Structures are given as structure tokens and as C-alpha cells.
Amino acid sequence: MSRKLSLLALAAAVVFTTVASGSPATAAPPPSVQAAPPVAAVDWEGLPTWSAGYGPMRNQSNGLKALRYAVRDYGINLNWTDWPNSKWEVYGQGLPTNGSITDTTNVAIKVPGGGYLRWSPQEWGIDLGWSSTPVYEWNLITTATGQALYNRTRNDYVVYGSRFWGVNLIWLGDAVVTPPGSGATGVKTVIAYNCHRDYRPLNMWVNDMDAGGSWVNLGVVNSQWSGVGGSCPVVGSPFTYSPSVSNHRIQIVGVDHTAPGCSNNPTIGSCQRWMFGFISNTTGGTARITLS
């Protein structure tokens, strides 16, 4: 995930995804693979369900365009193409060639030119990278309407989503607005999980641009990693914020105040680990975001 993300009227970089299956508007970690995937996670089709098979990685939200390896300036080297140009190999851990892949099979996925796809912190774009050897950290969940791709290291599903830097992919937990089907515009509550890849705390600041434009410090959200090299979010509590008025332009900044050369000042761009902008609505949805 990039250092700074802004939304809507504030130079949009992330698009909210509305989940079509019920999700409570309360703080909760991203969904587990043990449960049926949310409707919004079932965003793919074409990947093989047998080990050592290959097929296109087509995306339902992007007009069935498919992913392929392609060099780009920012983020992981992936881009969209017509599906015949997309070829992804899927390998089930411990399975023979053509062995059946189920929802709970640990799988590694590979694209020619790139390698094996894995969770990997990035300066720009989605936190994905390459490995030269198989990384069996994925689950491929096939339903009647498509496929969901779950990463057990990240504890989240990868789906289509617009972003300013890098290929248009996001983690489902990064930007989900509930309640589904409400028709609401704007945000009632922001819930942000601290998965800073360097395990540092973040100082959270809020600026209501339509109420004087002054920054207010709302305190520290500590790292929610289970430990170095573990999973996130697991421990602690997320940052939550609910504006008291509607139709105001709100900015939230997570200041990396313990980073070298930084202080607890939301106006220093190099110390802004994360920035989020939105329009408030006291009857709107909940924005769930993972800060990395």
C-alpha cells in the first residue's frame, strides 16, 4: 500500500467497495478463509482447480480483463490485458500433477516473467511481490459465481480496486463500506488497522476542512501485528473515528512519529505514513482500511 491514499474530492486514490453480503458496521479483522468468502471477494475466474494447471486470471469487476506480467514504473509488475494473453500456473502444496485443488488447499501461483506471487510490503501500490520459489500462502476458493483469492499471510482477499499508483488491485479489507445496498454516500465511521510494515505506532490526526481547518490529535494506534513476521491485524484495537456532522470534507493522517527524522506533526509530508480524505455522512457507511 502506498504511503499516502486520498479519496473522492481529495485527489482520489482508493475506491470504496460495497459488499453485497451482510457485514456489521463494527470493527472486525478481515474475513477468514474458513468462512464462505464475501460476495465482493468472488472477483476472479479462469484459474485452474488442479495442480500444475494453467489458465487466465480474469477479473469480473474489470470487464473480464486479465492480469499478466508487465513492467511498470510503480508497484508490482502487473497490468491488465485481454484474457488470451494471461497465463497463470497454480500448484497445490503436496499434490501431484492434476491433483484436485480444494478451497482449503495451500497453493502457490506463478506467472511467466514474474515468478510466484506473494505478500510483500511495497512503497507503492498493493503489497505484493515475487518469489523465485513456490510460496504456498494462497487459497483459491471456487464458488458457483466465480473464484476468490485469499492470502493467509495478509489474512485478506485480493480484488480489483482503483488506485493512483500501481496496478488496480487492493485488499478487500483496505476499503470496504457498509452497510451494503444502503445507497448512502459519504462515510459515517472510519476503522483503520495499523499493519505498518516496520511495526511502528502511528499518531492519528484529523482535520475538518469545513470547520476551521485545524488539525486535532486523536492519539496513537499501536501496531496490530502478532509479532515480527506474523499476521496482521491480530492484536490491539483499531483507530475509529465518526464525524458528528454531514457533508464536511475530512482529512485523516497517520503520522509515523517514531521514524528517523520525524516528529508528531501532521503537516510534514515525509512523515505522513497514511492520508485519507472523505465526505462525512452521519447516516453513511463504514470505511475499513488497513494501514501498511
Q: What is the distance between the alpha carbons of residues 195 and 161, in angstroms, rounded to a whole number?
A: 19
Instruction: Name the β-bridge partners of 10.
Output: none
Whether residues 148 and 181 share a domain: the answer is no
pLDDT for 7: 33
pLDDT tens per residue, range 201-253:
999 999 887 788 789 999 999 999 988 888 888 899 999 999 998 877 788 88
Whether residues 125 and 180 share a domain: the answer is no
Helix (H, G, I), strand (E, B) or coil at 271: helix
pLDDT for 211: 87
Q: Last residue of some domain: 160, 184, 218?
A: 160
DSSP string, 70-115: ---SSSSSEEEE-GGG--EEEEETTPPTTPBP-TT--EEEEETTTE
Q: Last residue of some domain: 160, 184, 204?
A: 160
Whether residues 187 and 139 share a domain: the answer is no
Whether residues 217 and 122 share a domain: the answer is no
Q: What angle do CA 138, 198, 204 make, to 5 degrees?
A: 105
Within 13 A of 212's CA, how many CA atoms are on the CB side? 4
Whether residues 119 and 212 share a domain: the answer is no
pLDDT for 213: 79
pLDDT for 22: 28
Q: Within a domain: residue 49?
A: yes
Residue ranges for the chain with pLDDT beneath 70: 1-35, 162-164, 173-186
Count up the domains in the chain and report the number.
Answer: 2
Task: Give the chain's length.
Answer: 292
Q: Within a domain: residue 133?
A: yes
Of the candidates 193, 202, 195, 191, the residue with the CA atom closest to the CA atom of residue 228:
195
- Whichever domain contains 238, its CATH number is 2.60.40
Q: Within a domain: residue 121?
A: yes
Whether residues 92 and 120 share a domain: the answer is yes
Q: What does pTM read for this prediction?
A: 0.57
pLDDT for 91: 98
pLDDT for 76: 96
Q: What is the dihedral of CA 143, 109, 97, 92, to 10 degrees?
A: -70
Q: What angle do CA 219, 225, 227 make, to 5 degrees?
A: 130
- Rounded to whole angstroms, what are the CA distances from 154 to 72, 86, 120, 266? 23, 24, 9, 28
Instruction: Name the β-bridge partners of 206.
Output: 216, 252
pLDDT for 187: 80
pLDDT for 174: 60
Of the candidates 128, 125, 196, the residue with the CA atom closest to the CA atom of residue 163:
125
Whether residues 151 and 38 share a domain: the answer is yes
Q: Which domain holds residue 56?
A: 31-160
Q: Within a domain: residue 152?
A: yes
Q: Within a domain: residue 79?
A: yes
pLDDT for 4: 34
Whether residues 210 and 274 share a domain: the answer is yes
Whether residues 147 and 205 share a domain: the answer is no
pLDDT for 183: 44
Whether residues 36 and 151 share a domain: the answer is yes
Burial 218-245 (b: 16+ CB within 10 A, else e): eebbebbbeeeeebbbeeeebbebebee
Residue type, 192: A
Q: Tell me how crowded residue 156 is: count the other CB atoms within 10 A of its CB.
A: 26
pLDDT tens per residue, range 106-128:
999 999 999 999 999 887 788 99
Strands 58-59 and 249-255: unpaired
pLDDT for 265: 93
Q: Last residue of some domain: 160, 194, 218?
A: 160
Whether residues 143 and 221 share a domain: the answer is no
